[in-house]
A and B are shown apart, each in its own frame.
Chain A
């Protein structure tokens, strides 16, 4: 359910008027979606879900309580406010409580697309049909998912702040498998504008990878020079950003902790060719215009030329440590280079092209060591050219370490992977030295 700015603001004012607390915050969000899921070259499920959520957070002194509901009638809103107040009154004081902030200035959001909001289920089916036709023409099986959604969110409080944002997202992913069970290819992308996403092109890419990945050879595990497609880099950056936390570093439980205490802000922890930042108006990955507690999202450097520049920092921790608050990112960009895939392949004497990762989990938070697997297409590169498909591997590697071993990179593109943390992410294809592959997987 989508509320426009005026309706969301009116609802926020109505809720704030009901509040008897010392201070109060109101968050409202809603979505309208349409999706189509297909497998084995046919539709499997299709839907059109809709949601609405209203959260009221009440404060009495340093006591806080919150309640969430979805009904907007007067009685339900009054009950919601009363419930949050009762929870707050019963809560012990939180010495880390921070009062709501006053009005702020925000950038103008650029993540909404009328074309996406207007898209219909017929249009989804029409967009997917060429993918199935390509697969059928080659007697192979396509499975995929296309999801278009419009969402809104607003945040208001008793200190006079109100902010509203509307976003659109289109997601399409497709996996194509060969009938002999030895080949599999994947493609996936997101965009805010339905008219700009090339679903048929993704189908063609997945078909091509599936055909080329058939009958892979088994290589020994070990350290390899690898080219990581943007999907893989997306997954690793999405994991890594969650470790960029000032408090964890100051408390001694982070890769960014200095031996003997304190954080490693300002240190050259990564290669000089690495720059990672967030920008809510990045044209590739426009993000939500506000973040934690209603703080404005703004351009924020995390790594600049390899130097650790900032870590996420709550308002409480910033006050205690005399730092600036750094809200959570609403988008993420790893700056890229200019190399094409062909340029990168030519630089590899013996290495691997990895197109997708799967099931990544933390092994050691101290070093951000992660494990996961390759999937849907791994290719051996010999003497600057792809020579053959190879079996999948399990990897045990740290993105923090990996960003010290980047040899070359392509341009940054809007990417998608399965380890999404809900942020739009732009990353390049990377050529990386000494990537640790710990065992072989028989999965295709």
Chain B
């Protein structure tokens, strides 16, 4: 049984207390006995209709979104999205239906609709889905946090945001935006196997950018905030110096306007973890998803070069490369007790890449036996009450160098290279070979020392060649947890939040482009 999350009380405004009381009252409309009763109706209806397996998910998402621009608040909104879904496996065919209306009659109707949908697809089911036996859990899990963002007054948040945008303007920016988005995700899961699981977690997602304009040349330049989205309480926001970062970003955006255009060619790259986390996401996280390897994403997200015959054999990267999947990392956007198939996720870390060798896929239920594995490793996720759970990424992180190594040590080992901070412009092919990434800030490295700022830098590579060029890695003192709130996959498309821990990496001989198009300027 997970511990209950206790929010640190922050200064609260009277009105806000009232507002949040309303929101919380809405969120707690159904108590546990009511949820259990609805789950029983759904599962009984599914079983009576012939389903060999059924599950019921009732979810409620509480959201708050605030956006500031220059000196003003542009948007302040709150929301609750709630509903339930019934998923059935009928003679090896999946069926699924959902509704925002959580009443007993509607649960019966939706369960019957899920059976009807499954029955309709059966003529196309040339291979039946078979589910592994899974342990049964009766549990609850709440994300530990110090400060619940939904009890923090909006005026505290707005003041913090305006302090940042105004700091940027004071430091010479023409424009500055900063938004804070908060989500409280409450999920109740029940399966015909007997599991009954309640979970609550929270996400804090800051996003901002500073822009400077040179009217004489008609050029402009932006520097996005390096603040990562986190599965954390408001304590994360309190611990981040947005005003300091935005003032510095304004100076850096000015510097970018005057920076030297990069000369294209091969460079040794030192990738800051604020940049490398996204490269990990695209070139390691996605290729090692089993549903892609099985061809189930061929029509949208794509397949992968990382086919099952390469499991345990492919030298994916150099021996410095260790990538671990977890759902327990503090602050991780994928951190959760149980996945959306009801598989225990916390505490079941596994290596995807070990000493450079491809070791494990990420899996949801019904997949493992297709590659001779016993069971799912807890990587299912549905982004809403009305979405079908599919395989999504846990936190996928590059492990630090066990030997002492600082960022300066890495830079000191480069004769002719570039140090890249932050991410910007990312794209990779549908089998995850060819990628192109850019960044927020680029600095020349000459003979082991950082030089002047460069501009118009993007690096291109091919995944296995790139990771085998890894020749240096920061130690745990350089670790940074990046992440994305909106990774897209599946049809209908779902967006998943996922974190990636990283340390700075030194990659030898990477192809760098100059992205300026003089013919377009």
Show the binding face of A for B, using Cβ within 8 Å: 1, 33-53, 55, 64-71, 76, 79, 82-84, 86-92, 94-96, 120-122, 124-125, 128-129, 132, 141, 143-145, 147, 173-175, 177, 186, 251-253, 257-261, 358-369, 371-373, 375, 392, 394, 396, 398, 400-401, 418, 438-444
Contact = CB atoms under 8 A, between A and B. Distances in A.
A33 B96 CA distance: 11
Contacts of A42: 124-127
16 contacts: A51-B386, A83-B22, A90-B16, A128-B124, A145-B491, A251-B175, A358-B302, A361-B426, A362-B425, A363-B515, A365-B222, A367-B517, A369-B515, A371-B425, A396-B517, A401-B520
Given A92-B158, A367-B520, A439 B26 contact: no
A65 B427 contact: no
Nearest to B85: A49
Contacts of A144: 299
B81 A92 contact: no
- By CB atoms of chain B within 10 A, which of A42, A79, A440 has the most? A42
A363 B23 CA distance: 41
A373 B430 contact: yes
B296 A122 contact: no
A229 to B, nearest CB: 17
B241 interface: no
Contact of A39 (B94, B154, B296): B296
Contact of B429 (A125, A252, A358): A358
Interface residues of B, number: 101
B369 to A, nearest CB: 15
A70 B433 contact: no
B438 A363 contact: yes
Contacts of B29: 71
Contact of A373 (B19, B75, B434): B434
Nearest to A52: B100
A230 to B, nearest CB: 18
A16 B244 CA distance: 43
Contacts of A367: 517, 520-521
Interface stretch (B111-119, B311-319, B338-346): B111-119
A366 B299 contact: no
Contact of B78 (A67, A261, A363): A67
A418 B430 CA distance: 12
A68 B81 contact: yes
Given A35-B492, A38-B124, A95-B72, A83 B81 contact: no
Interface string B209-223: 001010111111010
A360 B427 contact: yes
B434 A359 contact: no
A13 B284 CA distance: 52
A88 B76 CA distance: 8
A70 B80 contact: yes
B139 interface: no
Contacts of B412: none
B26 A71 contact: yes
Contact of B216 (A39, A260, A365, A441): A260
Given A53-B81, A68-B63, A396-B515, 8 more contacts: A50-B97, A70-B81, A125-B124, A260-B215, A358-B429, A359-B429, A361-B426, A443-B302
Interface string B127-146: 10000000000000000000
A369 B78 CA distance: 35
A95 B513 CA distance: 43
B460 A394 contact: yes
Interface string B55-89: 00000000100000000111111111111010000
Interface string B493-521: 00000000000000000010101110111
A444 B431 contact: yes
A47 B96 contact: yes
Nearest to A54: B79
B427 A361 contact: yes
Main secondary structure of the interface of B (DSSP, over half): mixed
B519 A177 contact: no
Contacts of A40: 127, 294-296
Contacts of A175: 298-299
A127 to B, nearest CB: 11
A253 B298 contact: no
A309 B387 CA distance: 41
B95 interface: yes
Interface in B378-425: 386-388, 390, 425
B101 interface: yes
A48 B521 contact: no
Interface of B: 13, 15-16, 18-19, 22-23, 25-26, 29, 63, 72-83, 85, 93-101, 113-114, 116-118, 120-127, 153-155, 158, 174-175, 211, 213, 215-220, 222, 294-300, 302-303, 305, 386-388, 390, 425-434, 436, 438, 456, 458, 460, 462, 491-492, 511, 513, 515-517, 519-521
Nearest to A400: B520
Contacts of B101: 1
Nearest to A206: B299
Contact of B430 (A55, A84, A375): A375
Given A48-B114, A443-B433, A67 B298 contact: no
The 3 closest A-B pairs by CB, nearest first: A68-B79, A121-B120, A47-B96
Contacts of B97: 47-50
B117 A37 contact: no
- By CB atoms of chain A within 10 A, which of B25, B127, B426, B520 has the most? B520
Nearest to A32: B99
A202 to B, nearest CB: 12
Given A52-B100, A70-B80, A252-B215, A394 B515 contact: no
- By CB atoms of chain B within 10 A, which of A38, A141, A359 has the most? A359
Given A46-B95, A87-B76, A401-B519, A442 B220 contact: no
B508 to A, nearest CB: 19
B388 A438 contact: no
A83 B23 contact: yes
A48 B491 contact: no
A27 to B, nearest CB: 12
A391 to B, nearest CB: 10
A77 B120 CA distance: 37
B8 to A, nearest CB: 21
A90 B300 contact: no
A44 B129 CA distance: 8
Nearest to A1: B100
Contacts of A44: 94, 296
Contacts of B434: 373, 392, 394, 439-443
A132 B427 contact: no
B300 A418 contact: yes
Contacts of B175: 251, 253
A144 B390 CA distance: 16
A76 B102 CA distance: 14
A148 to B, nearest CB: 12
B438 to A, nearest CB: 7
A91 B73 contact: yes
B484 to A, nearest CB: 13
A39 B124 contact: no
Contact of B121 (A52, A125, A369): A125
A64 B158 CA distance: 14
Contact of B82 (A45, A70, A120, A442): A70
A154 to B, nearest CB: 17
Given A65-B77, A443-B430, A174 B299 contact: yes
B218 A258 contact: yes
A132 B123 CA distance: 11
B26 A47 contact: no
A50 B100 contact: yes
Contact of B99 (A1, A94, A439): A1
B93 to A, nearest CB: 6
A396 B459 CA distance: 13
Contact of A83 (B78, B82, B158, B432): B78
B505 to A, nearest CB: 22
